[in-house]
Amino acid sequence: MLLYWKKPQRKILVIRMNKQKQLKEEIETLLKEIAEKTSNSERFEFWKYLAKMDKLLEEVKEDYVAGSVDKSATINGRIILEEGATIKPYTVIEGNAYISKYAEIGPFAYLRGNVIIARNCRIGRTEVKHSIILENSKASHFSYIGDSIVGRDVNFGAGTKLANLRFDNKNIKFLIRDKLVDSGQRKLGAIVCDDVKTGCNVTINCGSFVPKGTFILPNTFWKEK
């Protein structure tokens, strides 16, 4: 019986590895699609890409950890942690997360909802909720990123907040081709394109778009005109 059961177990392991490889490839494809848009300052229905993220991360049924996780971190969900990625002390993750190569999370970071953090990102003492952050971007100090897409090589100054909720709880609308499009979402943040830099204590209003290469001065409230 022992010899009989070895083969099915090995087959199951191979199937799991193949599914995991396919899932990671699909996530990377999604990131490339978004990067093409953020590199060209393109407005798009970004909430649909957050929905695609949800669908993909729902397929993560078991952890894959090739990076390092500090023993004080708390993870309530499933994670894919790529080679060289680090989850530092007292970080809390609630929900499923894909953290790519050489990303640094924490200490004291809070990730909730489904989250994708691309390679070489730095998320410090910051809350990231249901968002996608592309490669080489940094939110190191006391920021909030909610229901948003952040492009490549973005740096958020300390205290930068991406708001995601109207006072009246109505759906967030987003400007595309000179038309306000109803996202159908009560909670939705912003698109921040590549190479954006913010000073300390910047607030970016829900449903906003920040073009590529924008520098936002400290203490600014950024909203669509």
Helix (H) / strand (E) element for 47: namely: helix 46-57
Compute the distance between CA of residue 86 and CA of residue 106 in angstroms, rounded to an integer: 8
Q: How far apart are CA 4 and CA 17, in angstroms?
A: 21
Cα–Cα distance list, 165 to 60, 88, 172, 202 (Å): 28, 30, 8, 16
Burial of 70-92, coded b for 16+ CB within 10 Å and e otherwise, reads: eeebebebbbbbbeebbbbeebb
Give yes or no: 141 in active site: yes
**Cα 89 from chain centroid (whole Å):** 20
Selected catalytic residue, list 24, 43, 52, 141: 141
Positions annotated as catalytic residues are 141
